[in-house]
Amino acid sequence: MLILELDQSVALVTGGAKGLGFAIATYLAGKGSKVSVVDLDAEAIAALPPSMDGYVLDVTSRADAKTVVNEIIQRHGRIDILVNNAGVIFSEPFVNIMNPKGMMHDYERFRRSITANLDSVFIMTSSVVEKMVTLRTKGVVVSISSISACGNEGQTAYSAAKAGVNAMTRTWSKELGRMGIRCNAVAPGFIDTPSTRSALNESIIKHIQSNTPLRRLGHAEEVAQAVASVITNDFINGVVLDVNGGLTI
């Protein structure tokens, strides 16, 4: 049986310098993984702990993604784990009847959200999987999806992007499984992070909590634990793992 041991692994976490991504990077590093973090935020990259390598990267740039992946491969010899966490939550109603001159969802903003949340996953995964196939690395790709992939009002673009991430995950798991490369996704619900607290007012958070069977928001570390689970269990492939306290039941 092949088991990917975290303490012997090389991991790359996108959008890993802050928030949920940083929690995932910290969890993996705590288990002994050699963690490289890419993030658009140069200040956050500069503030990473010395146990992590940091690279400033726009994950929607194919050329830059290849360059950084090559640098990590040169430094560590391979990449065993890719965590596609980078993304930008975006909300805009499909129809805004209060704005009759621009009633419909802006197309350019739709495209930008798709690029940030879907194209980025394609670009990073293709850059890393090319190396996994060439080097015969039996690696794992974990993409951070969202409860919004089921369809969330006011989030046409974000929901479409995350549903696309789920579809790519299942497709890649079928294509790449024969090479020993597994692909999974983790779909968090509402997680108690500063961004959630700033995006949602207290009454909405209470409403979410009361509709969640566990009656609370999740913790970032619980998402990181889920990511580690789908990495280390060598028979989990093509799964989108909900981490939402039962909210979607």
Partner 1 sequence: MNQRLASLLAEVFGLRQEQIVLTLTKDDVAVWDSLKQMDLVVSLEREFDLVLDIPDIVRMNSVSSIVETLALKGVDLGA
Enumerate the active-site residues.
158
Contacts 24+ apart (CB under 8 A), 4-9: 4/80, 4/81, 4/138, 4/139, 4/140, 4/231, 4/232, 4/234, 5/232, 6/31, 6/32, 6/33, 6/228, 6/231, 6/232, 7/31, 7/32, 7/33, 8/32, 9/33, 9/34, 9/80, 9/81, 9/231
Q: Would you state the structure tokens that stand for residue 146, as one six-digit string?
A: 């969202």
Whose Cβ is closer to partner 1: residue 83's or residue 176's? 176
Q: How far is the CB of 178 from partner 1 (least distance, A)?
A: 5
Burial of 46: CB neighbours in 10 Å, binned 0-12, 13-18, 19+: exposed
Whose Cβ is closer to partner 1: residue 167's or residue 179's? 179
Whose Cβ is closer to partner 1: residue 138's or residue 215's? 138
CB contact at 8 A, 49 and 155: no
Chain-centroid distance, C-alpha 102: 32
Nearest CA to 28 out of 142, 133, 176, 179 is that of: 142
Whose Cβ is closer to partner 1: residue 36's or residue 237's? 237
Q: How far is the CB of 93 from partner 1 (least distance, A)?
A: 41
Whose Cβ is closer to partner 1: residue 101's or residue 178's? 178
Q: How far is the CB of 176 from partner 1 (least distance, A)?
A: 8
Q: Would you state the structure tokens that stand for residue 33, as one six-digit string?
A: 């993984």
Q: How far is the CB of 139 from partner 1 (least distance, A)?
A: 15
CB contact at 8 A, 235 and 134: no
Which positions lie near partner 1, rule CB under 8 A? 134, 136, 175, 178-180
Q: Would you state the structure tokens that stand for residue 133, as one six-digit string?
A: 């196939």
Q: How far is the CB of 179 from partner 1 (least distance, A)?
A: 6
The Cα–Cα gap between 45 and 31 comes to 21
